[in-house]
Structure 1
Amino acid sequence: MQEINAAGTTPGQVVPIYVVLDQTDEHLTVARAEQAWGPATSEIAATADEYLRILAAADSKSRLALQMAGTSRKEHTQLTKQAGRAAG
């Protein structure tokens, strides 16, 4: 109701219903958009955790083993840092 009062009405005045319905639609749209972020954020965190788990398993591998897997120690370190930032 604060928006309605800010629109120039005073308490006790009748507000056209379309104004109230427009504001309700706006609030509903914002609420639905914010609600959609919850599962997406959880999915991103789970993916980052999975990457960290895979990278942690490769921490003890030798440089040769990493090279045979198609990566390098430098790339492995960079990926670990990047996944850590995404998870944190």
Structure 2
Amino acid sequence: MTGARLYVFAVIEHATRRIRILGTSAHPTAQWVTQLGRNLMDLNEVGACAKFLIRDRDAKFTAAFDAVLTDAAIQVVTTGIRIPAHELHHG
């Protein structure tokens, strides 16, 4: 542990409560997030079937990210506006 901040892109399979970490980065970008959206489709190969993705309103989640998921028939659900981070993590 170096104390560096890392951003983690993870999905939780509701039915199994399995957490899958798709990527980590110290400096996430819109391109990184979009690629991880494409990687999410790889979960179909292991039997996971995503129907919804809940995300916050960070600018890194661009229209390209949403389009990748929409093309895969995954509905994107965004969190409320200005929800404090502590409510997302501890609420």
TM-score by length of 1: 0.24
Task: Identify the structure with the greater strand proportion.
Answer: 2
Larger radius of gyration: 1
TM-score by length of 2: 0.23
Q: Which has the higher contact order (CA 8 A, sep 6+)?
A: 1
